[in-house]
Structure 1
Amino acid sequence: MTRLTRADLDALPAYVPGRNVADLARELGIAEAVKLASNEVPFGPLPGVAEAIAEAVTQSHRYPDMGVLALRAKLAERLGVDPGRIVTGGGSVALAEHLAKATCLPGDEILYSWRSFEAYPIIATGVGASSIRVPNTPEHGHDLRAMADAVTDRTRLAIVCNPNNPTGTSVRRDELDRFLDAVPDDTLVVLDEAYREFVTDDEVPDGLATYGDRPNVVILRTLSKAWGLAGLRVGYLVAQPAVAAAIRKVLTPFSTSMVAQAAALAALDAEPEVVRRCAVVIAERDRVTAELRKLGADVPTSQANFVWLPLADRSAAFAAACEKRGVIVRPFQGDGVRVTIGTPEENDTFLEAAGEAL
């Protein structure tokens, strides 16, 4: 039979989403399962978002503003940058794909820590680039010294996920300074800050404020997490104007939908509520971490809205045990389990399941 797709994709693992809550509840015969697998916030849409969506839907027979001018202007004002430096897209993961398209040709290299965000190897393979994976430190974080040593003249993108997904660990200013100074000017460094709003460590730098003036640095962020728009897919990046213009050339036309633009504009008006919700998540993150450590789990300190249990080959068994108690978590086979921070009640349910599983 004639092959119609690329042979190298056979070895590429598919992206794994969190399991469906309704399916598990039905299997267990319970009213509702708890989903702590996808790093969502549990509080529902921000004030004003549902109303903005309802109004935008009345114009859904029209194409959205392809330039996303209103949203880019609002983000620019909030961030203190020129709108020409901002690119929006279908979540930060879609923008990472566009970054790869704008920088890599087959045979080029994309460098990242591992384990990190599971979409990175998919993105690299999608553009025919080689994945250069640098193992995490024993503390489950980026080894930036080893990453700098791994840069070659073929490295087009170097991605630093800060805080890191799925381990929650973070890179501090001094080590990131040294890394950026070591990377050549023709390698684009992507600071993936999808969880920036949950950072409380003052030594973890705001990438835009600290490094946004560097020509070869791109800041990648999302409104899916703290801003509660995971189901609408809105992300943005900030780059130097020439880099941003090149990325816009490879964007899927109209990829930020009319509804997503309206929802994002409304969400940005609700920043005080975002701050309040993040404070709740942070307090729960610290409580869950402390309780898991009492159970003997070697949980690293997280700066995101999830925690990491480095359970190695016990990961699948732990996740299965939690599911039997109606709690969906995210196992990474052979490495560990990521658990999203939910409401206090959801976290209590998880901790009871974890107590049994551990």
Structure 2
Amino acid sequence: MADNVTSLFRGTAAHSPSMAALTREGGDGPGPVDFCIPCNPYFPTPAMFDELAGRLREIITYYPSSADTITAELCELLRLPPSCVAMGNGSTELITWIDHLLVTESLAVPVPTFGRWTDQPMETGKRVDMFPLQESGGFALDLGAYAEFLRKRGSRVAVVCNPNNPDGGFLPRQALVDFMDAMADLDLIVIDESFLEFSDAEEEPSTVQDAMLRPNVIVLRSLGKNFGLHGIRFGYLVANPALAGRVRSMLPKWNLNSFAEHVVFMLKRHGAEYAASLRQVRQDRADMARQLAQLPGLTVYPSQGNFLFVRLPVGAEGTVVRDRLLTGHRILVRECGNKIGSSSRFLRLVVRPQVDVRRLVTGLEQVLYGTGTQAPTAGAGYSSGTAAVDRLVSETNGAGMRGLAAQASAMPLAPGSAPAPGVVPGGCGRGGGCGRGGGCGRGGGCGRGGGCGARAGSGGCAAPRPGGRGARAGARGDGGRGGAGNAVGAGGGAGGRLRRGAHAGLRTPAGLGADAGARAGVHAGGDRGLGPGLRTAGDAGAAGWARVAVRPGQRGAAGGEPAGHAGGGRRSPRPLEAGGAPCF
């Protein structure tokens, strides 16, 4: 594929370019193997596609039925009262109306997550309180810590994605019900269950029935993701009749297209195939996770979605890995550097059949480690700006990453390759470790630059206002004491002024660049910052956020404690298995 294909990624904000755009720029030949768009690869069946193709002229020629008619058919299948359901042209349409109608002041959401939950309310001038999920805890959401965060920030709307996108983290149903009851005074609680059908951790994990009994809870569900039909654009929400009716009253009469109508009316005849497709995706997820976990230095996080969240080996740059996989192997992956709360060290990989996974593993081996015909990624001179911090993380909370990271770091470079980013003779973290404009620590840990200071209170973060002051970050390296640097807030959006954080005098491990110690917990408005602070990366590839973690239990520079976390598994309802009620 030509270079203009990879350039499409640099023109997008929170999402990857569409498959249509990639196809137009890619020229002749088959498109890439898609590990980016989270579709069900086993549904619809070939026979269903043939049926839709045979009726194509009719489908695109005539108006669809009204949304009420299509919703009534779906509700009969789901065994839900139509008064409690609103169908939208994709979940994004419903998120938009939820924001316009029901979010009046502020919304809180754990990050990283689906981009519309942060972007949509900010676009309409709301305050977005972002609760950072901790890498040290596997990005698991601690609902108790989240509830405390909501109280301290005064957030009026709370969002929980279950499973979360991009990490696939799961919360048991009863924990969510307890959270609903504890937060009953909020204006609104949204449980986004867009990927719950792919879960197998609980027999009945959905909170749909619980939402209908409460005055301030909406459950959001996807149909396109479950059915592998993103292009049709259909999803639905479930709430008590008053809440659902308020959203439904704002939707156009024909907001659902004829393809959506035909698929909904086909479902009752294909329940067995749909259930079989979900079982196959769950099996493929386990197999794919095992294969990826065998790659040196690659961390695979537990997931209950139809995707896996992985951290690349130390020194690897996600945008380079993405581009090389696409141009050299015709494999499309989701690099997560443009997701708030993530960085370019992370990829989201959609679960696919084994033949495709073997191709992915082979491509990663060549791109990451230089096997085959390509040179190692680290030797290309690219950097995310966080390599030194990554080395520090591998020493503290890598969950077994330390040994693998050492293997990856010890691998010989291809002839003519430059040293890995961030590994400069003399121990000074430069290149990969030096995030210019985002708190650069060089030659002894002096934080430099004018990076964008993110507001952080009780571990949260929000978009900064112009003139906000960043956290002060100094480091003590083996070669001497580093100075203190200030990051000057820049940019717009909701948020507030950052107060000056405490000086972080951190001794870096032997052999690491002193910039590895450039971390600080920050506080705003008197709130205590959580241990792991978030700060934006200056030249960090895709303008992602650089996560800086501390040892478990260690206090942050601003005096806060690290955010708690809780694991768990979950399972989607078995709507069409054993005669259960469908819950697509």
CA deviation profile, 1:133-152 (whole Å, cap 9, x unmatched): 10013311323223212325
> Contact conserved, 1:307 with 1:338, CA < 8 A, in 2?
yes
> Contact conserved, 2:288 with 2:354, CA < 8 A, in 1?
no
1:131 aligned residue = 128
Q: Which moved more, 1:254-263 or 1:87-96?
A: 254-263
Which of the pair has the greater relative contact order for Cα pairs under 8 Å at 6+ separation? 1
Aligned pairs for 1:1-358 (under 5 A) are 13-17=13-17, 20=21, 22=23, 26=27, 31-43=30-42, 45-46=44-45, 47-48=47-48, 51=51, 55=55, 57-58=57-58, 60=60, 62-69=62-69, 71-105=70-104, 108-138=105-135, 139-151=138-150, 155-202=155-202, 205-296=205-296, 297-311=298-312, 314-323=317-326, 324-333=328-337, 334-335=343-344, 336-358=346-368
The Cα RMSD (Å) is: 2.7
CA deviation profile, 1:159-181 (whole Å, cap 9, x unmatched): 11111111111112353233222
Aligned residues between the structures: 342
> Contact conserved, 1:56 with 1:262, CA < 8 A, in 2?
no
SS in 1 for 2:163: coil
> Can you give the 5+ residue segments of structure 2 that lack an aligned partner in the other structure?
1-11, 338-342, 369-584
TM-score when normalising by structure 1: 0.85
Shift of 1:327: 0.7
CA deviation profile, 1:77-103 (whole Å, cap 9, x unmatched): 333321111110111122111111220
Aligned AA (2:124)? V
Aligned AA (1:39)? P
For 2:178 and 2:307, how far apart are their aligned partners in 1? 28
TM-score when normalising by structure 2: 0.54
> Contact conserved, 1:21 with 1:34, CA < 8 A, in 2?
no
> Contact conserved, 1:227 with 1:267, CA < 8 A, in 2?
no
SS in 1 for 2:65: coil
Q: Which has the higher helix share?
A: 1
Shift of 1:184: 3.1
Distance 1:286 1:271, change over 3 A: same
> Contact conserved, 1:100 with 1:157, CA < 8 A, in 2?
no
Distance 1:268 1:124, change over 3 A: farther
Q: Which moved more, 1:113-122 or 1:35-44?
A: 35-44
> Contact conserved, 2:40 with 2:226, CA < 8 A, in 1?
yes
> Contact conserved, 1:155 with 1:187, CA < 8 A, in 2?
no
Distance 1:250 1:283, change over 3 A: same
Distance 1:142 1:268, change over 3 A: farther
Aligned structure 1 segments of 4 or more residues deviating by more than 6 angstroms: none
SS in 2 for 1:218: strand
Distance 1:140 1:59, change over 3 A: closer
CA deviation profile, 1:23-82 (whole Å, cap 9, x unmatched): 6754xx86442111111222463444653575475265554333332x322332333321
Q: Which moved more, 1:313-322 or 1:185-194?
A: 313-322
2:580 aligned residue = none
SS in 2 for 1:116: coil
For 1:209 and 1:299, how far apart are their aligned partners in 2? 33
Q: Which moved more, 1:86-95 or 1:39-48?
A: 39-48
Distance 1:339 1:49, change over 3 A: same
Shift of 1:331: 0.2
Distance 1:86 1:320, change over 3 A: same
SS in 2 for 1:308: strand
Aligned AA (1:135)? P
User: % of aligned pairs identical?
Assistant: 25
CA deviation profile, 1:112-164 (whole Å, cap 9, x unmatched): 11000012122112332111110013311323223212325963431111111
> Can you give the 5+ residue segments of structure 1 that lack an aligned partner in the other structure?
1-11
